[in-house]
């Protein structure tokens, strides 16, 4: 079976946008409001003749109590069945408590991981991506889901850890 790649991160960081960019079509639902993606959606994907399954995540209530724990639990479900994880962070917002909650969960799981520093639409924003070294999850890969910037490099790295 194809390797399963779970795309996780707090709501609104651009998970679905990145997935659409990888798929080359707008299939995953993108919204300005968090919580529109169903719990877990699977998409067959391909890069350099290698096929894999992308898993989009989301679907929690944004104003619920204990939201950080809920988001982390959602991500954990997706990650449990994954071979590789792409953690997406909004590099322009920087590290939030919810990102930290997800990172804590991912540390316990110990699966191969790529850190995507999203919303780096221009070269001058790259210092914002470097700040995500602070998560302690390795090298942040600056990407723009909207413009496609950095996605090819990130996918090359993905194939290496897959
Ligand atoms: P998700 O909740 O993590 O799946 O995030 P979405 O993919 O639905 O995106 C949330 C919002 O962020 C939408 O308004 C997107 O257009 C925007 N967004 C996603 N990726 C980028 C990016 O690379 N650059 C910018 N500027 N906005 C982005
Ligand atoms: Mg989404």
Question: Is it the case that residue 80 has pLDDT exceeding 70?
Answer: yes
Whether the Cβ atoms of residue 126 and residue 139 lie closer than 8 Å to each other: no
Q: Residue 152 sits in a domain of what CATH number?
A: 3.40.50.300
Number of domains the chain contains? 1
Compute the distance between CA of residue 10 and CA of residue 115 in angstroms, rounded to an integer.
13
Mean pLDDT, to the nearest integer, of 148-152? 97
Question: Is it the case that residue 18 has pLDDT exceeding 70?
Answer: yes
Q: Whose CA is nearest to atom 10 of ligand 1?
A: 12
Atom of ligand 1 nearest to the CA of 145: 23
Which residues have a Cβ under 8 Å from the Cβ of 131 and sit 6 or more positions away? 91, 94, 95, 140
For ligand 1, residues with CB inside 6 Å are 9, 11-17, 30-32, 34, 37, 58, 118-119, 121, 144-146
Q: Is residue 73 very low, low, confident or very high in pLDDT (cuts 50, 70, 90)?
A: confident
Mean pLDDT, to the nearest integer, of 10-33? 84
Question: Is it the case that residue 122 has pLDDT exceeding 60?
Answer: yes
Q: Whose CA is nearest to atom 2 of ligand 1?
A: 12
What is the sign, positive or negative, of the torsion defined by CA atoms of 63, 111, 158, 120? positive
> How far, in Å, from the CA of 37 to the mean position of ligand 1?
12
Question: Is it the case that residue 123 has pLDDT exceeding 90?
Answer: yes
Compute the distance between CA of residue 136 and CA of residue 152 in angstroms, rounded to an integer.
23
Of the two residues 75 and 157, the one the predictor is more confident about is: 157
Compute the distance between CA of residue 93 and CA of residue 153 in angstroms, rounded to an integer.
22
Q: Whose CA is nearest to atom 17 of ligand 1?
A: 14
Question: Is it the case that residue 93 has pLDDT exceeding 70?
Answer: yes
Among the residue ranges 12-21, 58-67, 73-82, the one predicted with the least confidence is 58-67
Write out the residue range of the structural domain in which residue 27 sits.
4-161
Question: Could you give the ipTM of this predicted complex?
Answer: 0.99
């Amino acid at each position: 079976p194809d390797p399963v790649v779970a795309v996780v991160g707090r709501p609104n960081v651009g998970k679905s946008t990145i997935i659409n960019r990888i798929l080359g079509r707008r299939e995953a639902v993108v919204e300005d409001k968090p919580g529109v993606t169903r719990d877990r959606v699977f998409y067959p994907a391909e890069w350099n003749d290698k096929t894999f399954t992308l898993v989009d995540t989301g679907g929690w209530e944004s104003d619920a109590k204990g939201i950080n724990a809920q988001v982390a639990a959602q991500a954990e479900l997706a990650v449990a069945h994954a071979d590789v994880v792409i953690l997406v962070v909004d590099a322009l917002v920087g590290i939030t408590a919810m990102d930290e909650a997800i990172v804590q969960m991912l540390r316990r799981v110990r699966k191969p991981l790529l850190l995507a520093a999203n919303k780096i639409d221009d070269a001058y924003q790259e210092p914002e991506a470097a700040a995500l070294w602070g998560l302690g999850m390795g090298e942040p890969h600056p990407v723009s889901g909207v413009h496609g910037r950095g996605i090819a490099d990130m996918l090359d790295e993905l194939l290496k850890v897959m």
